[in-house]
Structure 1
């Protein structure tokens, strides 16, 4: 079953991803950056882009790809508007399935956050943990991390059970324990500000993941800030949030433009 196949919502998925990569390559060439290593796996790295603002807030971005595709370098195109808003941007990479287990993948993100929290230059800052798609799941999963102050989950997946009988599970190999332990919708939310954004032209299944998660949180007495975005699909949502001239980015970040 290909219920979670995002290519169904656009006519040119391959071209969209190539465009992401080309624009991101330009950003890497034009903006100073460096890479940190937080573990022994080759993918346990973090690319750092710093703005000119002293003690700037930090946005840690976790890319998507259904936990089995893509890399952080494909999403560098989100960086310029964040720098202009006055944030330091950290693109956090993680090992993918099936090279590692789903549990190892999730724990790797926590390891990366632990590493960042220990760096003197990033202590006593406001930290925004943000992710798209699988990264939205990982952001929600790690919302309790002590270093994190705000969470922005974009087009995420919060209940893993529906994925078990899809093509995605060939690589994920989700166990019953994975589903219970790593479905954010099955756990109590933190009291930190949590933004849940999704496009109204995304797959019905993905819209349900976001709206259902928000409903569950509200039933528990939490108050996520929900952003259903019109004329927006799983891919355009990134530009609609990060590369627009309106107040979308500042509203989601709840900060003042630098």
Structure 2
């Protein structure tokens, strides 16, 4: 496959249109089905767990969290922060509680983070928001025995940006034990020339400073104790797969604790939708990472 810099715009648009690579259904249908699956999973989670909805982590309207709390008296609480996808311009925390379904049963707290998607929010703001959300969660839940991150697609990008934070600029340094980066984008430069950037309006300078692939030295300083799992779908586009593979290799070469998971029989959407299921490969991996398998 040619390097993205050699691709014409229509090919680059195709490579960065995940819905066009699903083998299950048409591009439009796979997105509709995705939103429906996430919403149903979130509704299910809200029926199973105690919830604290719209908890502010900052002053902005969009700076809110939803917390899914298991019925446990244990002080040894594991907590997963979930950052939703949607290309920084769709979706919200309202359909981002689905992974709590199998986790609350195991005594795990799940926090779904809201952030200001484009065009209201820009890339610098979104990155700042998710970083502040993590600090706020750690301050509110001081008895966490293990803090974990999970992000899908644009959310995996934001999770990688959290791992690459210089925490000296914040009041605390979160100790993130594990991170699941699912079908993410780690180099934003190819995005600049695609339809995705129309509402984002990123310049090259903005894309560079918000590309996790360029921030690996900072990640090593901030998150050397974190076990990072880079997961990609078998039916992600070649360009999406390349993004994950290259980021994984860069992290591995730096000596970080990183694992690559190429998830068979999944596409860009089903790879995350299935986290609603306790028997799903990635759910089991997450529970194993927490010592809860």
Asked if TM exceeds 0.5, the reply is yes
TM-score, L = length of structure 2:
0.81
How big is the shift at 1:124? 4.6
Say which is worse superposed, 62-71 or 145-154, in terms of deviation.
145-154
TM-score normalised by length of structure 1: 0.92
Distance in 2 between residues matched to 1:46 and 1:157, nearest whole Å: 23
SS of equivalent to 1:33: strand
Paired with 1:144 and 1:102, the residues of 2 have a C-alpha distance of: 15
From 87, 94, 100, the equivalent of 1:79 is 100
**Where do 1:42-191 residues align within 5 Å?**
42-53=61-72, 54-55=74-75, 56-119=77-140, 121-144=141-164, 146-147=173-174, 148-188=176-216, 189-190=219-220, 191=224
The match for 1:225 is 259
8 Å Cα contact 1:39/1:45 also seen in 2 = yes
How many aligned positions are there? 257
User: For the Cα contact (< 8 Å) 1:63–1:135, is it kept in 2?
Assistant: yes
CA distance in 2, matches of 1:239, 1:257: 21
Q: Aligned pair in 2 of structure 1 residues 150, 6: CA closer, same or farther (>3 Å)?
A: same
Q: Distance in 2 between matches of 1:249 and 1:16?
A: 18
- Confirm or deny: 8 A CA contact 1:25 1:73 kept in the other structure: no
Match of 1:37 among 41, 56, 66: 56
Following superposition, the deviation at residue 159 of structure 1 comes to: 0.4
Instruction: Provide Cα deviations, 1:205-244, integer angstroms capped at 9, x if missing partner.
Output: 2111101111122233334111011111111112444414
Within-5 A mapping of 1:234-249: 234-245=268-279, 248-249=282-283
Q: Distance in 2 between matches of 1:15 and 1:241?
A: 15
Q: Do the aligned partners of 2:37 and 2:273 also contact (CA within 8 Å) in 1?
A: no
What displacement does 1:246 show? 5.1
Q: Could you tell me which residue of structure 2 aligns to residue 6 of structure 1? A: 18
CA contact (8 A) 1:250 1:256 kept: no
> How far apart are 1:195 and its partner, in Å?
0.8
Cα distance change of structure 1 residues 5 and 237 upon mapping to structure 2, 3 Å threshold: same
Contact 2:57–2:64 (8 Å) recurs in 1: yes
Within 2, Cα distance between the matches of 1:241 and 1:229? 12
Flag as ranges the 4+ runs of structure 1 deviating above 6 A: none
Is residue 62–residue 138 contact of structure 1 (8 Å, CA) maintained in 2?
yes
Counterparts of 1:144 and 1:196, CA distance in 2: 15
After TM superposition, give the deviation of residue 6 of structure 1 in Å. 1.7
171-180 vs 39-48, which moves further: 171-180
CA RMSD of aligned residues (A): 1.9
SS state at 1:129 partner? strand
**More deviation in 143-152 or 75-84?**
143-152
Contact 2:83 2:155 in 1 (8 A): yes
